[in-house]
Structure 1
């Protein structure tokens, strides 16, 4: 705080502290008194507890040094009675005793003592403790005094801030300040832009004159004082005639009946808003320091209130503007929600339907209603004829032009922009109302980089679409383009599927016809082969059984064997083709048989024993004991296992093993055929059940095959309601058949 004017004396003088010593030992009492007086304290002494109580009431000490062990009333009882006396809350008590047991210490503090010193006394420690207790007491009193002032300031500040009306705030403030300072006039002087100011608020006691509303220009008040006030300086005048003021300044203050005054600046940042002025008119006045501090703090509160009021006015203005903005935003939000719902309905239609006509007609209807336009249509382009055909339209209060075909070369300025993917608005003469214009917004429907059509929104009067409306039209145009692309892809896919179905039917018919047609000549070939076998056998008998390699009989037998093998191969191929055809067409009947698995499997593998022995392979059977009976198509199951065993014998190297296993797991039966010494690569595994597929380089012995065996196995397994898996690793291949029990 910086002060201009007369210097102020300290407003608070701390007297020497008063100490009462209560001690029954005269020597110790004298030592204590001498020590405390040497420290500058006022000292009174008493020799016992009753005398100490009486001395306390006369002396009102700040501190009591109390012996605990005394005849009659001991120190503990005296301490308790001292704490019950009026005004004792501001007195500190220190016990001095030879008792140092915990119980005595606790008893002293329970009686109300704040400190405890044992005998013999350490005098330096005693002086420090006495000073500490007195300092704590002074701090407490100062804090209480400060709290009283804070309550006054808080009360005034609360009343100031109870209203956001600046006039009311300032009037309450000056009235409270004048009453609290007990002065004659308190006013707020506000500066204006012309360098002078006006008394805007005033509280004045009778009979002193009011200066409220006066525009005051002090010719003696120069820029020097203004700059000092702007820096926060406070001006104090206790007597205008003894303050070294200029005569004009004294005359100026005299006209307002002022004999002493206090001026505190009211600042808004670095801006000097005004002055808080207290006038004492009836006499000169000594302004105490706490009054100056109080006025300064209240000026700060007024500055806050002024700023708060200005901010409130700004907030009110902003609230008004914000209300309009919120209303506009609500309208925009409602429009956005409406647009979003429109787009969702169109998107759902695109997702759920492949009908081009239905989707585009829905799109133009939804768009026209959402944007409140007179007409909305969709046109598709035909680049081979360079035309635009309006195929879909929804009108509300304008005549339509659905079905119209427009030559794009007549309107190059329009269609060139659309073909480049640009949206735009333009006006055109009305086709139905003479001398009128229609507002048109056009947006292309793009399939990649190519425009396949456009949307048009038409109004009878000029209307410019907003950014959100344009965005909606663009999104709908994108959805329409997606719908057209999906519909055309679907139509192409349907045509492809129809063609594939036709080709597949032709293939099936061809295979069925060829297979049936081949059966008759193959049957004749088999009959002819059997007749040739008889002739060859008779010729060998005529040769006496002596047939060398170069004889005609030997050659005939060789050729006959080749013919027989090839005939059987063709018969197998024809049968496989016919069986596959029946299974794929679901014409294959299923006969149910009860199979006793152990005997059935033994009988099946017995037919392969000679072949396995000839190839120097090992056959292993691993059948779980007590396998249940299996109810299934025995012919189909036999053909499956026969084909799997045939493949195992065919591709298993010599001295390797073939294992046939069967086991039950819950309600499933698992049959597996495993052969070692051969492995199928992971790349080939997914294709081994395809028709006519043979693993490249998978037949080192060149035994041949049709590539239909495993395809037929897969179909037969599905026919039986089961599944088949194949695993191949570590030079071992395993086919596992899973069938329901």
Structure 2
């Protein structure tokens, strides 16, 4: 008598006819596991390479090259989005067997069926129905590169028309895209911090340079005053101990020489004291302007009358130096509202600058005119406020500024080397103040220079408020 196994146990045993099927299932499962492990290793290798770099270009190049080689496809490219301009620009590609398209720009609005999905963070794959002129018919996978801050760009993978990307390949591409987004944000953060470091270094250098220059400018007048005081003290001491003591009304050669010395030393003290005061005032004015503390009261100005108050000292100085001062103010400039202090300081600084650097027998020209006539003003209004532009030009001949110097002309404490024929010196803050005051008035200033016929011209364009009643 033979014992038969239960039916349930007998049905669970593989039959000889099922053995090939089981082997196939095991082999397939093993292949899937090996492929998954291989892809995990590939992803780690790509991730390590991508995340190791802080160079945005290198990150893109690594991603597209590794995806092309790992998946064995025809090519891959990465694009960056500019959402403000609505464009997608191919910034990197790796093409094994297809033409290169690096730098190509696409308008997002031109392909809404593609970019609307990508902008929502959705990937897709498709096969082109019509042959592409460069690539022919191709299977393509598009995957967005995005993070919690938004979409940065996309990855496009290209292969032959019959190919379909598997689920495992899709996950690999998505993971690479995620790692690219993280790496790109890190690279941009690093670049931003580096730019800030450089800017801080630049500011620190400017601060050191500023302090050094200020220290020098403040020390020089003090040293001169100290020397003049010492010489004055020595001269007075000699005078007091001298046996020469005739009545004051009696001429005496030694006393006259001593009086000349005393007068000279007192002049040095007065000039250097004035220089120190001007420097401190200029520094305070610049500080107020940079902190927006300059006065903003508007006065009604008639430019012709205004200039008659500004010009007398410059007429005397130009006449003494044999310079030709020419004034031309257009007749159609009506009264306007502006800050008297700021406008006077701007014009005075420019004329002072012209007088300082103009050689004898050369000219200094001051011109003012309106950009547009005022016929457009509507009649029969009690008060009409308009904003035409007043142009002011201060031009002097016989001198030029090298093109390399023009960009620095408005820097604090900057002086053009060997360009002061009258040896007046100055604080080096005049033109910096002019620029700040002009901007304070809502205008802009430019400087031009010529070499064929040497000249320097400062031009101010100033929007003005005109009151017409």
Alignment TM-score, normalising by the size of structure 1? 0.34
Q: Is the 8 A contact 2:392 2:460 kept in 1?
A: yes
Q: Distance in 1 between matches of 2:166 and 2:291?
A: 56
| 1:329-728 matched pairs, under 5 angstroms | 333=126, 340-343=142-145, 345-346=146-147, 349=150, 351=152, 465=169, 473-474=175-176, 476-494=178-196, 542=248, 551-666=257-372, 667-728=388-449
Instruction: State the match for 1:735 in structure 2.
Output: 458
What is the rounded CA distance, in whole Å, between the counterparts of 1:684 and 1:503 in structure 2? 20
1:638 shift after superposition: 0.8
1:636 Cα shift? 1.1
> 1 CA distance for matches of 2:441 and 2:253?
51
Give the conservation status (yes or no) of the 8 Å contact 1:547–1:554: no
Report the Cα distance in structure 1 between the residues aligned to 2:208 and 2:332, rounded to whole angstroms. Answer: 50
Distance across 2 between alignment mates of 1:585 and 1:736: 25
Kindly tell me: are residues 722 and 700 of structure 1, through their superposed partners in 2, closer, same or farther at Cα, counting changes over 3 Å? same
CA gap 1:665/1:541 in 2 versus in 1, 3 angstroms: farther
Question: Secondary structure of the residue that 2:462 maps to in structure 1?
Answer: strand
Where structure 1 has 5 or more consecutive residues not aligned to the other structure, the ranges are 1-330, 353-369, 374-464
Aligned length: 286
Q: Tell me how far apart the structure 2 counterparts of residues 481 and 568 of structure 1 sit (CA, whole Å).
A: 60
Maintained 8 Å contact 2:152/2:181: no
Structure 1 distance, partners of 2:322, 2:338, is 34
CA contact (8 A) 1:547 1:553 kept: no
Q: TM-score, normalised by structure 2?
A: 0.51
Taking the aligned partners of 1:660 and 1:547, their CA distance within structure 2 comes to 49
Q: CA RMSD in A?
A: 4.4
1:284-303 → structure 2 map (5 Å cutoff): none
Q: Residues 478, 717 of structure 1: CA spacing in aligned structure 2 closer, same or farther, 3 A cutoff?
A: same
Question: Is the CA contact (8 Å cut-off) linking 1:671 and 1:737 kept in structure 2?
Answer: yes
Per the alignment, residue 86 of structure 2 pairs with none
Report the Cα offset of residue 633 of structure 1: 0.7
1:337, 1:548 → 2: CA distance?
108
> Structure 1 residue 590: deviation in Å?
1.7
Unaligned runs of 5+ in 2: 1-123, 129-137, 154-164, 237-244, 373-387, 465-469
Write the distance in 1 (CA, Å) between the matches of 2:456 and 2:435: 17
- After superposition, give the CA deviation of every residue in 1:557-601 in whole Å (9 maximum; x if it has no partner): 111111211111111111111100110111112221111111211
Verify the 8 A CA contact 1:727 1:735 in the aligned structure 2.
Answer: yes
Q: Which has the higher contact order (CA 8 A, sep 6+)?
A: 2
